[in-house]
Amino acid sequence: MKKILKVNDLSVSFETYGTDVQAVRGVSFELEEKETLAIVGESGSGKSVTAYSIMRLIDMPPGKFDGGTILFNGEDLTLKSEKQMQEIRGKEISMIFQDPMTSLNPTMTIGKQISESLIKHQNMSKKQASSRGVELLKLVGIPNPETRINQYPHQYSGGMRQRAMIAIALACNPKILIADEPTTALDVTIQAQILELMRDLQEKTGTAIILITHDLGVVSSVASRVAVMYGGKIVETGNVDEIFYNPKHPYTWGLLGSMPKVDSKGEELLAIPGSPPDLADPPKGCPFVTRCPYAMKVCRNNMPEYTHLSDTQKTACWLLDERAPQVEIPETAIVGGYKQHV
Amino acid sequence: MARYLLKRIGYILVSLLFIITITFGLMKLAPGGPFTSERKTSPAIERQMQEAYGLNDPIHEQYFNYLISAAKFDFGPSFKYEGQEVTDIIKRSFPYSLLLGLEAIFIALAFGVLFGTIAAIRHNKASDYTVMVIAILGISVPSFVMATILQFIFSMKLSLLPIARFESFAHTILPAFALATTPLAFIARLMRSSMLEVLNADYIKTAKSKGLSERVVIYKHGLRNAILPVVSYLGPLVAGILTGSFIIEKIFGIPGLGREFVESVTNRDYTVIMGTTVFFSVLLLISILVVDLIYGWIDPRIKLANKGANS
């Protein structure tokens, strides 16, 4: 498989009131053609900032790149000018957002909003763009696309708006689609439909997807690989089976444990106690140390290196060091009822 | 749409009735009358004059007579200017105020929207602060101070523009700017805050993520949404400016409607007070209606609300 995106040691910070908030601290990952990579983590873990950095949609200032590269087709996106980025956005890499209620322009018809990027990137005439728009709406499963295309966003339901957003994002057949919590604002049945649609379209178009989410249910149904982010770092990454059935990082355990189970009736939902670290003054060692039930002395001052557990899975945790005590994966974090030992 | 319009025109008529009633009442409550003057007139003559103008009739009769003639667009003769109908006075003076007002509105809108947008795009930078300082000055400096400053600089010092009177286009420039200052500053502030809000909206991010240039993002996606508060401010502004400003017209020696309006009150020129008030109200109500229609045209969500109100 060809790698189309390589993010290397990316660091992004925001200057606010004299302090630098280091939202992303040395993140590296790769994206292969036609795959779906999920980036999971709680609010403030840096997952959205990572995604917006790839699109270069972070306002600079207050944001700034502190280092690292984002290689897309071998070219470093962090060095591109705004003009060059405009040629990439929407054409090579596009994005869909969390809330379809607010991410469409209320004063413009859906058709116009789809046409814009077609006219800009593919030099279509208005007429061509509009008929392509109808095709796209049909593709994302909107009934009566011929009439729907001339309607305004407020005439669409929430799920249909997200479909329309997907149509806009896929208009120019981008290589990469970044989906920033695309189902968070939708109700469960619509969520399932949108995920189904994304899977379906990926098969048809071959677009690689970066899915930003905090919903592990969503991850399991669409992603092929997962990166778990915490405190501006990727703490564990692996393919879906590895993350769900053989997780090694206590934070991943916590995430899996806090997911409600089908058979959990009337039990209290588990949460990870504590709150994420202050990234204006990030911890020297592992960012999870204050909330980790297995924290050791070494964790406080030294950030663990990645331990490569397989070709695909790597985890940054001192528990994997040979000198560390053997810890078993907690009961609550076991998915699907069977248990594997660390 | 036709039903909606009819309904709105109905509301306008009802509002007018209220306005006429209240103005009529207040006017009658105010002490003095059109024939009170420093020069002593004999009571017999005064009584005769009041009789001639129907001022001795019972008040409700006067009121209903006025309503009936107003419905026929007959606002009666002026009490002060002999042989002049109220409609003549409005016809004579309104064109000056209209021309001046249109110029002022154009200036206020064009510069206000431009300055506000620039300030929002350059948020927290030098040009933002400059625009906002100018805007605060514009709001706080009264128009008569502004007018005299403009006269001093452009007429007396630089001799670029005529200082007063209303004879050519050049004569209208200073009063139009003086009249536009406050609304311009207000529009700039409105525009800045709504543009800042819009630029942070999700659909702006969507527009950027399509690879559109900053200019297209701001003018095609931002402006139309950001201008809505300005449009709603426009209704009362248009009516207020078009009917003239007493102060500006006085300073620049322009025979506009604003002057007639204020002078009719001091003169207790009953028919002119009523006539100009009705005229002002009609203008205000119609411009509010027009603003609502423009609103619906800019923001398609509003049209739906109108349809809802219809059914």
What is the pLDDT of chain A when averaged over all its residues? 85
- Quickly state the pLDDT bin for B155 (edges 50, 70, 90): confident
Interface test with B, best of A16, A85, A107, A118 (most B CBs within 10 A): A107
Segment holding B175, helix H or strand E: helix B169-199
Residue A340 has pLDDT above 50, yes or no: no
- The confidence score (pLDDT) of residue B38 equals 65
d(CA B163, CA B251): 10
Residue A339 has pLDDT above 70, yes or no: no
To the nearest whole Å, the CA of B289 is away from the closest chain A CA by 20
pLDDT digits (tens, 9 = 90+) for B45-93: 878 877 777 777 888 888 888 888 888 888 888 887 778 888 888 888 8
CB < 8 Å to B205, chain A: 57, 95, 97, 103
Over residues A295-303, the mean pLDDT reads 85
State the virtual CA torsion across A93, A97, A100, A104 in degrees, nearest 10: -50
Eight-class DSSP state of B219? I
Q: Which residues, numbered 48 to 87 in chain A, qualify as contacts with chain B under a Cβ-Cβ cut-off of 8 Å?
A: 55, 57, 82-83, 85-87
Q: Which of A93-107, A182-196, B114-128 is predicted with the least confidence, judged by mean pLDDT? A: A182-196
3-class SS letters over B238-255:
HHHHHCCCHHHHHHCCCC
pLDDT digits (tens, 9 = 90+) for A182-219: 888 778 888 888 888 888 888 888 889 999 988 888 88
Q: A270: number of CA atoms within 13 Å, CB side?
A: 15
Q: Which residues contact A200 (CB under 8 A, 6 or more apart)?
A: none
- The confidence score (pLDDT) of residue B46 equals 78
8 Å CB contact of B206 and A97: yes
- Quickly state the pLDDT bin for A337 (edges 50, 70, 90): very low
ipTM of the complex as predicted: 0.83
- The confidence score (pLDDT) of residue B311 equals 34
Q: Are B178 and B150 in contact (CB under 8 A)?
A: yes
For β-strands A63-72 and A3-16, DSSP reports them as antiparallel
For A212, the 3-state DSSP assignment is strand
B123 in A contact zone (CB under 8 Å): no
pLDDT digits (tens, 9 = 90+) for A238-290: 998 888 888 888 888 888 888 777 666 666 777 888 888 888 888 888 888 88
**pTM recorded for the entire structure:** 0.79
For β-strands A3-16 and A75-76, DSSP reports them as unpaired
A184 in B contact zone (CB under 8 Å): no
Residue A329 has pLDDT above 60, yes or no: yes
d(CA B292, CA B309): 13
Residue B213 has pLDDT above 90, yes or no: no
